[in-house]
Structure 1
Amino acid sequence: MEKTATLIKPQAMIFDMDGTLFQTETLLLPAYHKLFDILREEGHHEGETPAEELILGCLGMLLEDIWKKVIPDASPAAHNRANELLLQLELEGLSNEAAVLYPEVKETLEELHRRGVRLFVASNGLEDYVKGIAQARGLMPLFEGVYSAGEHGTATKVDLVRLLLDQHDIKDAWMVGDRSSDVEAGKENGQTVIGCRYAGFGEDQELKGSDVVIHSFSQLLKLHDQAE
């Protein structure tokens, strides 16, 4: 754990989903390979499936921006079809027990909820995907709100978190996430940022500006214990 600030006990904690609560690659990669098999069959893509590193490096981005990086030369129709297929295949994949949360996520969230911390999700993903994970893995009853860019039409995570804070009258929150967009969303809204460095998808500078960087999800409980 890397700590650079004295923390205040928050009213709420706001969590990113992919790479923070959910081990995205356990669901994403099987769906990704099936998706390109279908795109080839339908004539939307030729050649090999782009490297897994490309899609993993895009986690946390808006879906429309992901395909611009993964298949930049593809047509808008191919991008739209990829959107449809990825959601369909990932929702189907949630029935597979191999698609998992990070260790101790559920237990830690349950304890935070028991302590009276208000819990939320803020994700740049699609509504059905983000809520589907929370439902399938038994997390939904713990959250006061599950916010997604797909549902609210926000252009950035800064905007999404601002909307969440305003709608729930939250003044003091910890933004918990693994990408620079999470750091920005917390800081631009005047909140504490807890960076998560256990997913391994981001660059070394990804979490620059975080108040604390944790290396396992359960360290949140120790941080909450120590906060003033």
Structure 2
Amino acid sequence: MTKAIIFDMDGTLFQTEMVLEHALEAVFSDLRSEGKWEGAAPVETYKEIMGVPLPVVWDTLLPKETDKVKEEMNERFQTYLISSIQEGKGALYPHVLETLADLKEEGYTLLVASNGLPDYLKAIVETYHLDHYISDVFSIARVASGDKGELVEKACNSYGVTKGMGVGDRLSDFKAAHRNRLKAIGCRFDFSKEEELKEADIIIDDLQELMNI
């Protein structure tokens, strides 16, 4: 029997907002110089939809552009994000490393299931040495459907998870946890929404609170 905690990455472990605006501004600066965009980068729009699969992101931000342009902008966005992370412009949320260390000491298998792409997640893990505590990182690229519930199911099956928690900040995280019979823990952090947090079993304001659950 394996007891595990499966974490979302963006807005749960990693303070995505610290690198998001810089990367998004860089992408839309490129678009402006190419005559494909006017005005400011839609940072607030992205914050509203944070946590959705990347194809949905670009369909929302660039609804009038071709799939080819959206794919190219996503590739540039990933490059800018990774550069910002590696340059130390991001940060983990408070008490992440201490909490992960304590949970591992308690015998939990710690996993990540994220809508992020592999190279982006790898940059976070390597920069902040999360691999000292986390056994595996499951990117949405591992499932063709792009469904968070299926991704968490894959993580559970890979590690024989029979009980535990899913920790995240958005509705897709809570639904994925419930689908896989995990307790859904909602993080009231940067991108969370109160109406979505109502679907979580327990709401926390700091990751250290996991030690009391």
TM class by shorter chain equals: over 0.9
Kindly state the Cα deviation for residue 206 of structure 1 after the two structures are TM-superposed.
Answer: 1.2
In the alignment, what sits opposite 2:100? 109
Structure-to-structure mapping, 1:186-197, within 5 angstroms: 186-197=177-188
Q: CA RMSD in A?
A: 1.4
| Distance in 2 between residues matched to 1:205 and 1:81, nearest whole Å | 34
| Distance in 1 between residues matched to 2:30 and 2:172, nearest whole Å | 31
In the alignment, what sits opposite 1:140? 131
Kindly state the Cα deviation for residue 96 of structure 1 after the two structures are TM-superposed.
Answer: 2.7
| Distance in 2 between residues matched to 1:145 and 1:95, nearest whole Å | 20
Identity of aligned residues (%): 34
Taking structure 1 as the reference length, what is the TM-score of the superposition? 0.88
Matched, 1:213 2:183: no
Contact 2:143 2:150 in 1 (8 A): no
Any gaps of 5 or more consecutive residues in structure 2? none
In the alignment, what sits opposite 1:23? 15
Contact 1:180 1:208 in 2 (8 A): no
CA deviations over 1:78-122 (Å, ceiling 9, x no partner): 201111101111111112323101111111111111222110000
Contact 2:86 2:123 in 1 (8 A): no
**Which of 174, 194, 203 is matched with 2:193 structurally?**
203
Contact 2:18 2:91 in 1 (8 A): yes
In the alignment, what sits opposite 2:174? 183
Any gaps of 5 or more consecutive residues in structure 1? 1-9, 224-228
Matched, 1:130 2:121: yes
1:49 aligned counterpart, secondary structure = coil
Number of positions where the alignment pairs a residue of Structure 1 with one of Structure 2: 212
